[in-house]
C-alpha cells in the first residue's frame, strides 16, 4: 500500500488545508455581522455544487486516466485558492461577495475528488486491501474535521486569512506532487475512444442507470438512500438539541463535535488495521443498526454531555466500516471503466438527502416537536415520560424516531437476499484488458 499511502498523505494535507480555510471563512462571515444566515449560505455554497456536479464529474473521470482526474480535482482547487490569494493581497482583503462564489467553485472541485479517489484505489492496492484503504480515506476526512477548526482558530488569531490562503495553496501543491510521483496500475485501460463517447449529460446519467440495472446494487443504493435520509433528519437536530438542553453551552457542543471527529479517525484506523467484514452485505446492515442504536437512539436517551459524547463517538467509529464496505463493493463489482460514473452516482444519491433532510428538520423541530414536548401532546403522550418536556426534548424525539426508522430500513436490507448476500450474488468485475499490468 506504499503508493496509496503517499497519495493518502497528500490528500490528508489538502483536506486539512481546505478545512482550515472553510473555518476561517465562517469566522469572517460571522464577524461581518451577517451571523447565522451567512454561515448557512456558506455551507450550502459548498455542498450543493458538490452534490449536483458529482454525476457529471463521474462521467468526465471515466473519459480520462485516474491520475489525470485526481490532478484535475486538486488543480481546480489550487486555481480557485490562487485567485483568492491574488484578490486578497492585491485588494487589501477579500470582499464577502468574492468568498461565496469561490466556495461554490471549491465545491465543484470537491465533486471530482471522491469519485476520482474511489475509482483510483483499485489501481493502487490489491483487492484484499480495498476495505483497509477505504478505512484510511475515512480517517483522513475525520482528521480534517478535527484539525481544521482547531488549527483554523489558532491561525485566524495569530496570522489572519492571508497566511491561511497561502497555506491552503501549498497543500494543493503537495497533493498534486503526491499524485504525480505514484504509479497507477492499468490506468486508462478500458476507456472508450473519443469517437464512441456520448454527450456528457447522457454519460452522467449512465452511472445511475448502471446501479439500477443490477438488482443487488439497486437495492443496496436504495437502502443507503433511505438510511441517509432518516439519519440526516436526526443528525440535523443534534447540535441544536445539545445547545437547547445545556442552556447554549458552546463548550458542550464543542465536546460533542470533537467526539464525532475522534470516533471517525478511530473507526477509519480500525478499519485499516482489521480489513473489514468478510460478508460485506451483512456487515454493512449490522453497522447501520449499530450506528442508529448508538449515535441516535442512545444519543436521544442520554442525559448529559458525557453520555452524548460516548454515544456519538461509538456511532462515528462504526461509520467508516459501513462506508468502507460499500465503497469496496462498488470497486470490486463494477468494471473499472464505469467507476467514475458509478461513484459519481453513489455520491449524488448519498448526499442529495442532506439538504432535503436538513431543510425539513428545522421547521419540524420549531413548529411541531418542540411545541408538542412543551404541551405534552402528540407523540409526547408516549415519549414524554422518557424524554421529558424541557427545551430540546422535541429534538431528542426526532433523533429517537430517526434512529428507530434507520434500524427498520437496515432490517429491511438484511431481509433482502439481494443485499444480504451481495458478495455471492453479484460476481466480481473482470479486469479490463491491460488492467492487470
- Over range 67-90, report the average pLDDT: 90
Each residue's pLDDT tens digit, 12-24: 888 888 888 887 7
Among 38-52, 229-243, 307-321, top mean pLDDT goes to 307-321
pLDDT band with cut points at 50, 70 and 90 for residue 417: very high
Among 29-33, 248-252, 256-260, top mean pLDDT goes to 256-260
C-alpha cell at 225: 438512500
CA distances from 158 to 86, 144, 161, 167 (A): 21, 20, 10, 14
Q: What is the DSSP letter of 92?
A: T
Long-range contacts of 22-30 (CB under 8 A, 24+ apart): 22/46, 22/103, 22/148, 22/152, 23/148, 23/149, 23/152, 23/153, 23/156, 24/152, 24/155, 24/156, 24/161, 24/164, 25/99, 25/103, 27/152, 27/153, 27/156, 28/94, 28/99, 28/161, 29/96, 29/99
Whether the predicted pLDDT of 96 surpasses 90: no
pLDDT band with cut points at 50, 70 and 90 for residue 276: confident
The predicted pLDDT at position 435 comes to 45
Query: Residue 178 and residue 172: Cα distance in Å, rounded?
Result: 10
The predicted pLDDT at position 329 comes to 92
Higher confidence at residue 174 or residue 362?
Answer: 174
Mean pLDDT of the chain: 84
Whether the predicted pLDDT of 188 surpasses 90: no
The predicted pLDDT at position 48 comes to 83
User: For the chain, what is the largest distance between any 2 Cα atoms, rounded to a whole number of angstroms?
Assistant: 68
Each residue's pLDDT tens digit, 192-239: 555 445 677 788 888 889 988 989 999 998 898 889 888 888 887 887
- Over range 173-190, report the average pLDDT: 80
The predicted pLDDT at position 20 comes to 83
- Over range 332-341, report the average pLDDT: 88
Query: Residue 253 and residue 267: Cα distance in Å, rounded?
Result: 21
- Over range 158-175, report the average pLDDT: 88
The predicted pLDDT at position 100 comes to 85
Among 49-58, 59-68, 93-102, 414-423, top mean pLDDT goes to 414-423
pLDDT band with cut points at 50, 70 and 90 for residue 436: very low
The predicted pLDDT at position 183 comes to 82
Whether the predicted pLDDT of 72 surpasses 90: no
pLDDT band with cut points at 50, 70 and 90 for residue 120: confident
Number of neighbours of residue 298 by Cβ within 10 angstroms: 20
The predicted pLDDT at position 193 comes to 53
pLDDT band with cut points at 50, 70 and 90 for residue 312: very high
Length of the chain: 437
The predicted pLDDT at position 434 comes to 41
pLDDT band with cut points at 50, 70 and 90 for residue 184: confident
Among 58-67, 180-189, 287-296, 314-323, top mean pLDDT goes to 287-296
Q: Are 108 and 54 in contact (CB under 8 A)?
A: no
Amino acid at each position: 500500500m506504499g503508493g496509496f499511502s503517499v497519495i493518502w498523505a497528500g490528500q490528508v494535507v489538502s483536506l486539512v488545508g481546505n478545512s482550515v480555510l472553510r473555518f476561517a471563512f465562517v469566522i469572517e462571515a460571522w464577524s461581518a455581522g451577517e451571523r447565522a444566515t451567512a454561515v448557512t449560505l456558506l455551507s450550502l455554497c459548498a455542498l450543493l455544487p458538490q452534490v449536483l456536479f458529482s454525476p457529471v464529474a463521474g462521467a468526465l473521470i471515466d473519459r480520462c486516466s485516474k491520475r489525470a482526474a485526481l490532478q484535475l480535482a486538486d488543480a481546480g482547487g489550487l486555481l480557485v485558492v490562487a485567485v483568492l490569494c491574488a484578490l486578497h493581497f492585491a485588494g487589501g482583503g477579500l470582499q464577502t461577495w468574492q468568498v461565496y462564489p469561490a466556495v461554490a467553485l471549491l465545491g465543484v472541485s470537491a465533486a471530482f475528488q471522491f469519485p476520482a479517489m474511489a475509482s483510483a484505489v483499485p489501481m493502487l492496492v490489491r483487492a484484499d486491501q480495498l476495505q483497509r484503504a477505504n478505512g484510511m480515506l475515512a480517517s483522513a476526512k475525520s482528521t480534517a474535521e478535527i484539525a481544521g477548526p482547531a488549527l483554523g482558530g489558532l491561525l485566524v488569531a495569530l496570522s489572519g486569512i492571508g497566511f491561511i490562503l497561502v497555506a491552503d495553496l501549498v497543500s494543493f501543491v503537495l497533493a498534486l506532487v503526491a499524485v504525480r510521483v505514484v504509479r497507477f496500475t492499468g490506468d486508462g485501460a478500458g476507456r472508450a475512444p473519443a469517437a464512441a463517447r456520448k454527450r456528457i449529460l447522457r454519460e452522467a446519467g449512465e452511472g445511475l442507470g448502471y446501479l439500477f440495472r443490477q438488482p443487488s446494487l439497486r437495492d443496496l443504493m436504495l437502502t443507503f438512500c433511505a438510511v441517509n435520509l432518516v439519519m440526516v433528519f436526526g443528525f440535523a437536530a443534534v447540535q441544536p438539541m445539545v445547545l437547547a438542553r445545556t442552556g447554549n453551552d458552546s463548550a458542550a457542543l464543542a465536546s460533542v463535535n470533537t467526539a464525532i471527529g475522534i470516533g471517525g479517525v478511530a473507526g477509519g484506523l480500525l478499519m485499516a488495521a482489521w480489513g473489514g467484514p468478510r460478508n460485506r452485505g451483512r456487515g454493512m446492515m449490522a453497522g447501520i443498526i449499530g450506528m442508529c442504536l448508538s449515535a441516535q437512539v442512545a444519543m436521544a436517551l442520554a442525559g448529559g454531555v458525557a453520555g452524548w459524547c460516548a454515544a456519538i463517538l461509538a456511532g462515528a467509529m462504526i461509520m467508516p466500516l459501513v462506508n468502507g464496505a460499500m465503497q469496496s463493493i462498488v470497486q470490486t463489482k463494477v468494471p473499472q471503466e464505469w467507476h467514475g460514473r458509478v461513484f459519481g452516482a453513489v455520491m449524488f444519491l448519498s448526499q442529495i438527502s442532506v439538504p432535503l433532510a436538513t431543510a425539513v428538520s428545522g421547521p419540524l423541530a420549531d413548529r411541531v416537536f418542540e411545541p408538542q414536548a412543551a404541551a405534552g401532546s402528540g407523540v409526547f403522550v408516549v415519549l414524554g415520560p422518557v424524554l421529558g418536556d424541557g427545551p430540546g426534548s422535541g429534538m431528542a424525539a426526532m433523533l429517537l424516531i430517526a434512529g428507530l426508522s434507520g434500524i427498520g430500513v437496515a432490517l429491511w436490507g438484511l431481509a433482502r437476499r439481494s443485499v444480504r448476500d451481495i458478495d455471492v450474488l453479484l460476481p466480481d468485475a473482470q479486469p479490463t484488458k491491460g488492467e492487470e499490468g
